[in-house]
Amino acid sequence: MHRHRHLRIWDAVHRWSSLTCTIFLLLLCLTGLPLIFHDEIGRVTQPRIHVDEITGNTRAASLDRVIEVAVSQHPTLHPLFASHEPHEPRVWYVTLASVNGDKLEQVAVDARSANILGKPHIGPQGVMGVIHSLHVDLFAGLKGKLFLGFMGMLFFASIVSGVVLYAPFVRHREFGAIRRSSGARSRWLDLHNLLGIATLLWAGVVAFTGVINTTSDLLLSQWRSQMLSQLKIPAETHPEKVPAQVILENALDHLRGGAISFIAFPGSSFAGDSIWGVYARGNSALTSRLVRPILLDARSGNIVSERPLPWYLMLLLLSEPLHFGDYGGLPLKILWAALDALTIVILVSGVYLWVVRKRPRRAAPMNLRKPAQGAA
């Protein structure tokens, strides 16, 4: 009966890990559904950035001029990043922030004429903003993120234990056989098993990458402090003497192929206090996700490091597309939504199966009471 006890333990793991995280997983699945399409929704609700075709002089404007134009729109803020969308080097998106980081603004500037093209909103707005917060941090910042990460770990445990329980439950039956005439509970148990095993790998990957994403703040600050300590450059705040354009040109000289993904200004989270970070992306589908950092001294403009990102940041960069499902066009997003909806069915049917479970424990005390009464 060793095997039997084994299964009872797995059964308990599956039951309690699932029940603990179900309500939050349900929230994550429901809020995740619209977030899958946030690009498409944003395209409808946000004004499009229109880039004019310039004939004749198409030389790039100096990056310093671009920054100057962006700052002139928000004089109280300071620039953090300047970035390009993939395959659109004609537009610089300059992100600016207040000193305490509460206020974030973005200005789209034409990279050739330095004309302002628009002021896109940063992150989801309005209803989508609420949905985003419910999905990411429950309006509780890092604590909320890590809490949801813990719920994701419980979900992962329930997936693993569910796989262990799958075989003993479906033994002797054809794959996908769903009992139709043995009552609703049997039918939903079979459906729960079928949908669970069919979406297993997808749910496992999305749960795992979701947990990784909740630790992004921690991973980033870990890398930042590690990188800065290894550079052995005193972390004192100096007025930047070297113009941004020189930094950009020095980095570009070093880039063989590839394009600029974004430039992190000294003091921002992807750079040091007196270090610029220039991040290059590759041209292939995979390497366009895995950016390569080039770090430059703000006082001399020299390259101080070209080391690739550590494995845990690579893992984080890969976890984003594998969680969002945004790397294979609209059809992939629709499949992502379908799998998300199936997961909702699994969660709800799991709760149902627990609510209408057979209750042997309730019967046991009654049986025990009988002989006790008889003895009295």
Partner 1 sequence: MLRTWIIPIWLGLMTGVGLISALLGDGIWDALSWLALAVPVALCIYYWARSTKRPSRKGLVNRRDAEDRLRDERRLRR
Applying CB under 8 A, which residues contact partner 1? 166-167, 170-173, 175-182, 187, 190-191, 194-195, 197-202, 205, 284-286, 289, 318, 321-322, 327-329, 331-332, 335, 338-339, 342
Cβ contact 8:1 at 8 Å: no
Q: What beta strand segments (E) does the chain contain?
A: 78-85, 88-97, 104-110, 116-118, 259-264, 275-281, 292-297, 303-305
Q: How far is the CB of 289 from partner 1 (least distance, A)?
A: 8
3-state secondary structure of 167: helix
- Residue 274 neighbours by CB under 8 Å, 6+ apart: 233, 235, 236, 237, 238, 240, 266, 297, 298, 299
Nearer to partner 1, 104 or 163 (CB): 163
Rounded Cα–Cα distance for residues 21 and 164 (Å) = 19
Nearer to partner 1, 22 or 199 (CB): 199
Q: How far is the CB of 224 from partner 1 (least distance, A)?
A: 26
Would you put residue 55 in left (φ > 0), alpha (ψ -120 to 50) or beta? beta
Q: How far is the CB of 342 from partner 1 (least distance, A)?
A: 6
Q: How far is the CB of 55 from partner 1 (least distance, A)?
A: 30
Rounded Cα–Cα distance for residues 343 and 337 (Å) = 10
Q: How far is the CB of 75 from partner 1 (least distance, A)?
A: 41
Cβ contact 116:49 at 8 Å: no
Ordered DSSP codes for 123-144: S--HHHHHHHHHHHTTTSHHHH
Nearer to partner 1, 15 or 187 (CB): 187
Q: How far is the CB of 363 from partner 1 (least distance, A)?
A: 16
